[in-house]
Structure formats: structure tokens, C-alpha cells
Amino acid sequence: MASRSSRRSPRRSPNKRRTVLVCASVAAVALVISLVVAFRPDHQPDKGDSAASSSVAGTRVTLPPTVPVPESTPAPTPSASRSPSPKATPARPKATPEPTATASKSSAAAGGSAARPASGSAPLAGRIKPGTTYQGVATFYGAGNGDGHACSYGPSSDVMTAAMNTTDYETSMACGAYILVRAASGASVTVRITNECPGDCAPGQLDLSAEAFAKIADPVAGRIPISWSLLSPATAAPLSVRYKTGSSQYWCGIQVIGHRNPLARLEVRTGGGSWVRLARTEYNYFLSEQGTGCGGSIRITDIYGEQLTLDGIAVRPDAVQATSVQFAAH
């Protein structure tokens, strides 16, 4: 009968067991401390720890709903009332617009300090020349509806007008001219010649509309000494053309309306292509007695020698036909 072996497993001493437990406890505590330190909110990895840096940088942080998500604040916009710095927006010289004809009513017709006498060489001028001051007297009359009578312009709302004495009227060559009138007091008014003052009106005299006279003197005066000179308005609407009542291809009268400068001549083109100058009447029409050029091209020339050719003006008696051209200012 086999007997139990007398060999036994060696037994550990109590001191050795206690040492193992202490070591295990210390290791556990160290592990817990390291974990706590690693997950602290203010923990930052070492700069040399590239793996930890990469992990944190790639992590998307979600803030609690109660905390507003920070947004980028836009740069402040300058107030509209604040002037920009001269360095930021350097001043640029303003371009000076060249004088052009516009569709607005002539500013010179209303008179005022902006009006200046016309100047320059005018080889085709008659008695009234630019750059010359004329002496005379001013009277006045009731201009009514602004018809103009002698110059045959028809009714107009513009009553800043005048009748020229017969000598300076010069067979209607003064019709449509703008005149700057000055009183001895220094008051001035700009008028347009629309009529003739025959009979007792001496050379140099102007018979103003009552409204124009009142601009420079008390109407009670009735008659005052004046000086006057030719104007070339800075702005003027494109001029127009009108065929006289009764005009046809066999006979016609042609009138130019709204010209900036006094008109020196009017010509029509014949069938052969040449230009024929028409005679001017005292009632401010140019007549083609035999029908030459009626309904064809028209060439007009002002006292400065500038010529404008008008095409496509049909023979339409008593109809005002607008163009797109105007003489230059002087």
C-alpha cells in the first residue's frame, strides 16, 4: 500500500505575503493617480508628445446648449457720417464737362447774374455785333400771349421778350436774338427779341414786355436809360423748323425757331446738288418763290459762320418740326 508522499508545497511566510499586497496596492494607487492626472480638464500634453497633440487637435469640441457658440466678430463698418481718411481715398480732380446742347429751356431766358455778353468774331453779323455795348432807352408794352407778332413765332409762355427798333431790327435779322439789358441802377434782365418797335422807337431803343421792364425799374418810370448787348446762352434746346401756312413743293416759306445765335442766312439744296440762298422777309420767313428746294435739305448759318445742315424736314405747313442740333455757344 502506497503511502502519501511526505513532500509538501513550501508555504510562504506572512512577511512575504504582506509585501506583495503592499506592492499591489501601491501600483493600484499609482495607476489611479496617473489616470486622474491624464483626464484633468487643464491637463496639457507635453510638446514633445506628437501623438497626444495630434489626437487633441483633431477632436471636435461640442459645447453645452446653454453656452452660446462663439462667432467671429466682423470688423466695424465706418459710420456714414464719417469722412474717409484722405490717405484711404485720395481726392481726384473733378472733370469739367464740355458745353453741350440740352433739351432744357435756355437758362439765359430768365436773366440773372450768370448771363454774359457774347464774344468772338462774327463775320456775318449785321448791326448787332457781339462784344459791343449799345446805348438807348427802354419803354414797355403789353406782350399779351407772347406771340411776338413781327417775328411770327406764335403764342408762348415766355414773356421775357422785347421789340427791337426798326433800324436794329434789320429786316428781322434781330429775331430770336438774346439781349442782356442793364439799367443805370445796375439791375439787369435777359430778353429775347420777338417783335419790332416801329415809328417812334429810335436806334438803340428797346420796347420791353411789361414783365421784363418791371425786373429793372418801377413801371411808373415808363421810360429809362439803358445799355444792352448780345448774348449767346450757355444752354439751349435743339432748334426747330417750320414751313409757313400755304407751303408746298411749288412755293414755301421756311422759319427757324429757337436758334441760340442770330441767324445770318438760310439755303436750300436744288435737284442738281447746289445750294441756293433764300431771301428773308420782315416777318421772319425765308421764301422760295419758285419752290426751289422746298422739302429738301436746308442749310442754316449763324452770324459766327457756323453751318448746320438739316435733312428730312418735310413740307408740313404750320407744323413745328424739332431737330437734334444747335449752334455752339460764344
Predicted pLDDT at 1:
42
Strands (E), 123-250: 134-141, 161-165, 178-183, 188-197, 206-209, 224-231, 240-243
Residue 26 has φ and ψ, to the nearest 5°, of: -60, -40
Predicted pLDDT at 148:
76
Q: Measured between alpha carbons, how far is 324 from 311 in angstroms, rounded to an integer?
A: 11
Best CATH choice for the domain 240-322 from the list 2.120.10.30, 3.40.50.1970, 3.20.20.150, 2.60.40.760 = 2.60.40.760
Residues 210-232: tens digit of each pLDDT: 999 999 999 999 999 999 999 99
The 10 Å Cβ neighbour count of residue 324 is 9
The model's confidence at residue 54, banded by pLDDT at 50, 70 and 90, is: very low
Least confident of 1-5, 136-140, 177-181, 222-226: 1-5
Predicted pLDDT at 117:
84
Residue 111 pLDDT > 50, yes or no? no
The answer to whether the CB of 307 falls within 8 A of the CB of 297 is no
CA distances from 71 to 55, 68, 74, 76, 77 (A): 24, 9, 9, 15, 17
Question: Cα–Cα–Cα angle for 67, 68, 72, nearest 5°?
Answer: 140
Residue 41 pLDDT > 70, yes or no? no
Q: Residue ranges per domain, the chain? A: 118-231, 240-322
Tell me which DSSP letter residue 122 carries: -
Best CATH choice for the domain 118-231 from the list 3.40.50.1100, 2.40.30.10, 3.40.50.720, 2.40.40.10 = 2.40.40.10
Predicted pLDDT at 12:
43
Q: Measured between alpha carbons, how far is 286 from 242 in angstroms, rounded to an integer?
A: 11
Q: Measured between alpha carbons, how far is 176 from 195 in angstroms, rounded to an integer?
A: 9
Q: Measured between alpha carbons, how far is 303 from 46 in angstroms, rounded to an integer?
A: 97
Q: Measured between alpha carbons, how far is 160 from 140 in angstroms, rounded to an integer?
A: 11
Looking at every residue in the chain, the average pLDDT score rounds to: 76
The model's confidence at residue 37, banded by pLDDT at 50, 70 and 90, is: very low
Q: Measured between alpha carbons, how far is 226 from 182 in angstroms, rounded to an integer?
A: 6
Least confident of 114-118, 174-178, 265-269: 114-118
Q: Is 204 exposed, middle or buried (0-12, 13-18, 19+ CB in 10 A)?
A: middle
The answer to whether the CB of 148 falls within 8 A of the CB of 195 is yes
Number of alpha carbons in the 13 Å side-chain half-sphere of residue 217: 21
Q: Measured between alpha carbons, how far is 191 from 176 in angstroms, rounded to an integer?
A: 10
The type of residue at 83 is S
The model's confidence at residue 31, banded by pLDDT at 50, 70 and 90, is: low
Question: Cα–Cα–Cα angle for 36, 37, 40, nearest 5°?
Answer: 85
The model's confidence at residue 284, banded by pLDDT at 50, 70 and 90, is: very high
N-terminal to C-terminal alpha carbon distance within the chain: 155
